[in-house]
């Protein structure tokens, strides 16, 4: 009896992150709130890309849940922003963060983000525009997510942001136990940061090394966006591979 009571007390004392269930395997039935978000009629223009971008699998991997707060770095066209908004719901919050330097290169997408938050349907989304090397958020969040843009930060047009600075700022933005999810185009093994500005790719090994150096713990990876047919030595915009690049998806957890 004494042992049973002790076990219950220990379980109750453990942080929620420790007790979290593992993400569903690729192809497994997604949680009902993910299915509802993906089927949101407001996303009708995105549906054509869902199978290619594996949106349900990516959301399951990111472990986003209703009521959470999400920071999305460089949201692009808002494809993932719309899904995050639907998942977290009215009690949650999504911060779409545009670095000033990137915003200058992508004015139409920034305008799209601003138009999105003007819609009552996306009242839980806020747009933040700030210097690339000064990431901040009004409150700590549960998930920081970036897709196909981690490789941009060290480049000249972004002001050559030191990845160590970025990752420490992400660490500070997350609550204890929060998740940092990075998806990006795979570069040749051992290439480090060599191809970030030319091919728009990055070696997954350097990403893992940099993020762990900021204090994060590697928490898993997903293979749903991998493509072994990608040669890794051509630009991601090359017609032969565009939209189908080999992409890694890494998840890191802030201890606590």
Domain of residue 166, CATH code:
3.40.50.150
Which is nearest to 97 in space by CA: 38, 145, 59, 139? 145
Give the tens place of pLDDT for each residue, 89-127. 999 999 999 999 999 999 999 999 999 999 999 999 999
- Measured between its terminal Cα atoms, the distance across the chain in Å is 30
Give me 143's structure tokens.
Answer: 């998930």
pLDDT at 122: 98
Contacts of 20 by beta carbon, 8 Å cutoff, 6+ apart: 63
Contacts of 44 by beta carbon, 8 Å cutoff, 6+ apart: none
pLDDT at 29: 77
Which is nearest to 192 in space by CA: 215, 169, 208, 212? 208
Alpha-carbon distances, residue 72 vs 127, 138, 145, 167, 240 (angstroms) = 10, 14, 5, 14, 29
Task: Look at residue 21 and tell me if it is in a domain.
Answer: no
Say yes or no to pLDDT of 21 above 80: no
Task: Look at residue 135 and tell me if it is in a domain.
Answer: yes
Task: Look at residue 75 and tell me if it is in a domain.
Answer: yes
Under the banding of pLDDT at 50, 70 and 90, the label for residue 11 is very low
Task: Look at residue 14 and tell me if it is in a domain.
Answer: no
Task: Look at residue 22 and tell me if it is in a domain.
Answer: no
Handedness of CA 68, 73, 77, 80 (dihedral sign): negative
The most distant pair of C-alpha atoms in the chain lies apart, rounded to whole Å, by: 66
Under the banding of pLDDT at 50, 70 and 90, the label for residue 19 is very low
Task: Look at residue 211 and tell me if it is in a domain.
Answer: yes
Pairing of β 141-147 and β 125-130: unpaired
| Partners of 97 in the β-ladder | 73, 128
Give the tens place of pLDDT for each residue, 124-143. 999 999 999 999 999 999 99
Q: Lowest mean pLDDT: which of 13-22, 54-63, 225-234, 240-249? A: 13-22
Split into its structural domains, the chain has a count of 1
The SS3 assignment for 143 reads: strand
Task: Look at residue 178 and tell me if it is in a domain.
Answer: yes
d(CA 217, CA 236): 29
Task: Look at residue 68 and tell me if it is in a domain.
Answer: yes
Instruction: Print the domain residue range for 247.
Output: 41-253
d(CA 141, CA 35): 23
d(CA 36, CA 30): 10
DSSP 92: -
């Amino acid at each position: 009896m004494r042992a049973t009571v002790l076990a219950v007390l220990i379980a109750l004392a453990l942080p929620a992150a420790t007790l979290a269930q593992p993400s569903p395997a690729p192809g497994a039935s997604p949680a009902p709130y993910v299915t509802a978000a993906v089927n949101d009629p407001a996303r009708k223009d995105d549906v054509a890309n869902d199978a290619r971008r594996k949106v349900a699998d990516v959301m399951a991997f990111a472990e986003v849940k209703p009521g959470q707060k999400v920071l999305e770095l460089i949201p692009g066209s808002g494809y993932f922003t719309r899904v995050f908004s639907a998942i977290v719901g009215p009690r949650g919050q999504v911060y779409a963060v545009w670095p000033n330097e990137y915003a200058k290169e992508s004015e139409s997408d920034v305008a799209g983000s601003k138009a999105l938050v003007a819609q009552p349907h996306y009242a839980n989304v806020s747009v933040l525009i700030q210097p690339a090397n000064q990431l901040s958020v009004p409150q700590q969040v549960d998930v920081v997510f970036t897709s196909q843009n981690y490789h941009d930060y060290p480049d000249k047009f972004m002001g050559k942001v030191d990845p160590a600075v970025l990752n420490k700022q992400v660490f500070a933005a997350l609550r204890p136990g929060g998740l940092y999810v990075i998806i990006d185009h795979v570069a040749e093994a051992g290439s480090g940061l060599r191809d970030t500005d030319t091919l728009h790719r990055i070696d997954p090994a350097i990403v893992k090394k940099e993020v762990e150096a900021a204090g994060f713990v590697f928490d898993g990876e997903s293979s749903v966006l991998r493509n072994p047919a990608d040669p890794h030595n051509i630009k991601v915009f090359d017609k032969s591979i565009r939209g189908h690049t080999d992409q890694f998806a890494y998840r890191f957890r802030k201890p606590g």
